[in-house]
Amino acid sequence: MRLPQPFVDVWTPRALGLLRLVVGFLYLQHGTAKLLHVPHVTLFDGLRPWSLDGFAGMLEIAGSVLILLGLFTRPVAFLLSGEMAVAYFMAHAPQGHFFVPALNQGELAVLYCFIFLFLSVAGAGTWSLDARRAE
């Protein structure tokens, strides 16, 4: 089934905007869990802010807020994509099963990496400050 072109033209930027908002909201929780302990994740108890994970939390909070606002989406998403690639190769791949993220708990890192990479190319979509600035 093929959707009518006017429908696709109207809803593609909106769907992109929704994807950006949902991913930004979910990703924000990773940073706040690390640095603010909300939601509480016992793995992050005692995390030092200036550690590698603490720095990742700072990137996740700041980057997520910018992604949610749709401000500087392309460069921020590219940076966050890189962060997730590093997370996969440093934290998940060494656990074994390099090419099977389902077995090394790296699925979220891979998904975030490629969603952010997509946003770095596609932009913010509608409902964003980037769209406002382009007007």
pLDDT tens-digit profile of 42-82?
999 999 999 999 999 999 999 999 999 999 999 999 999 99
Cα-based distances in Å from 119 to 19, 64, 68, 69, 106: 9, 13, 12, 13, 20
pLDDT score, position 134 = 86
pLDDT, tens digit, 9 for 90 and up, residues 84-125? 999 999 999 999 888 899 999 999 999 999 999 999 999 999
Residue 71: phi, psi to the nearest 5?
-115, 125
Separation of first and last alpha carbons in the chain: 34
- For residues 134 and 74, the answer to whether their CB atoms sit within 8 Å is no
Q: Indicate the pTM of the whole model.
A: 0.94
* Residue ranges covered by each domain of the chain: 5-134
